[in-house]
Amino acid sequence: MSNSIRHFNKSASSKRAKPDEILSALEIKSGMNVLEIGVGGGFFISRFADLVGPSGIVCGVDTEREFLDHLVELNEKSRYRNIRPVYFTCTDDIVRLGIRFDILFTRNAYHHLRDRSGYFKALSQALKPDCAIAIIDYNESLLNPMRFLGHYTKKETIISEQRAAGNEFVREVPLFASQSFLIFRKE
């Protein structure tokens, strides 16, 4: 396992990152299909795979081959072998899978996406009606050390972009001071 994968997993699994609270807020059930955009070290993917069980599928999308190769390893070690890595070149890569997703999850990757409204609008073809879209991203808080590197998106911007993509704002999950955790539903 590479240093970057270790780093991402250590960060995602820390108490400060509140992984159990995140999983609880997502309300993932057996048989669901989950799509994660920006998998990093795969920490959440492996938890999603256990939660959806043998009748669900978890797809992890990334542009970094190293992270996707790690998902292949995670799948081989997983109980259900229900993890599918997807190398992202365009949203069609996800739509062509033919899988309809119950939950779309992204953590600390939203600010890297270009044309976010268009991206999520195009993804809607791969989402089930009433799909939950969970976005965790750094905010503009002075408590956010990534702010000075431009690694954040204002909460109002996320809400506006998701509305433009046809997704309804449902609620904010108040877990973090330096990150927004927003839940949307596909309209």
What pLDDT digit, counting tens, does each position of 115-152 carry?
A: 999 999 999 999 999 999 999 999 998 888 888 888 89
What pLDDT digit, counting tens, does each position of 33-50 carry?
A: 999 999 999 999 999 999
How distant, in Å, are the alpha carbons of 57, 116, 161 from that of 98? 12, 22, 25
Pair type for strands 101-107 and 33-37: parallel
Q: Which pLDDT score, from 0 to 100, does residue 142 have?
A: 83
Which DSSP category does 182 fall into?
Answer: E
**Domain coordinates of the chain in residue numbers?**
3-186
* Architecture field, domain 3-186: 3-Layer(aba) Sandwich (3.40)
For the entire predicted model, the pTM comes to 0.95
What is the rounded CA–CA span in Å between residue 64 and residue 3? 14
Q: Which pLDDT score, from 0 to 100, does residue 91 have?
A: 87
